[in-house]
Amino acid sequence: MCGINGFNWQDIDQIKTMNQAIKHRGPNDDGTFVGADISLGHVRLSILDLSSRGHQPMYNNVKGPSVQIVYNGEIYNFKEIKNVLIKEGFEFQTDTDTEVVLNAYIHYGVDAFSLFNGIFSFGIFDQDKGKLFLVRDRLGIKPLYYKFTDGQLIFSSETKAIKTIVPLEINDNKRWDYFLSHNVSDESLYYGIKSVTPGSYLCFNQSDSTIKEDIYCNLGELVKPKVYKTNEAKTETQLVDELDELLNDVVKDQMVSDAPIGTIGSGGLDSSLVSAIAAQYNKNLDIYHIKVDEKKCDESIYARQVAQHLKLNLVEEVLSKESYLQYLDHCLKAEELPLSHPNSVGIYQVSKKAIDTGVKVLLSGEGADELFGGYHRYRNFQKRLWVNQFPIVKKILNKLSDLTLDETFQGYRSDDLALLGEYLPEFPHFKNRSNYNKIFEEAFNFIDDDQERAMKAFISGDLGYYLPSILRRTDRMSMSVGLEMRVPFLDNRLIDFSLNLPVKFQVSKQHQKHLLKKVGERYLPKDIVYRAKKGFPLPIEQWLESKHFKKEMYARWHKLQQINVGS
User: Catalytic amino acids?
Assistant: 2
Indicate if the alpha-carbon torsion angle 438, 444, 448, 453 is positive or negative.
Answer: negative
Polymer length of the chain: 567
Decide if 177 contacts 184 (C-beta within 8 A). Answer: yes
DSSP state of 285: P
CA distance 111 to 88: 16
CA distance 366 to 375: 12
CA distance 474 to 481: 12
How distant, in Å, are the alpha carbons of 450, 455, 471 from that of 413?
A: 12, 9, 24
Give the helix, strand, coil percentages of the chain, each rounded to 5.
Answer: 50, 20, 30
CA distance 6 to 70: 9
Could you tell me which residues are beta bridge partners of residue 292?
319
Decide if 250 contacts 493 (C-beta within 8 A). Answer: yes
Cα 251–Cα 345–Cα 137 angle in degrees, nearest 5: 40
Question: Closest Cα to residue 135, out of 96, 104, 167?
Answer: 104
Per DSSP, helices labelled H in 466-539 are 467-479, 492-499, 514-520, 526-529
CA distance 64 to 33: 12
For the chain, the maximum distance between any two Cα atoms, rounded to a whole number of angstroms, is: 73
Indicate if the alpha-carbon torsion angle 295, 299, 303, 305 is positive or negative.
Answer: positive
How distant, in Å, are the alpha carbons of 89, 383, 393, 510 from that of 396?
A: 71, 14, 5, 26
87 Cβ partners below 8 Å, 6+ apart?
none
Environment class of 27 (CB within 10 Å of its CB; exposed 0-12, middle 13-18, buried 19+): middle
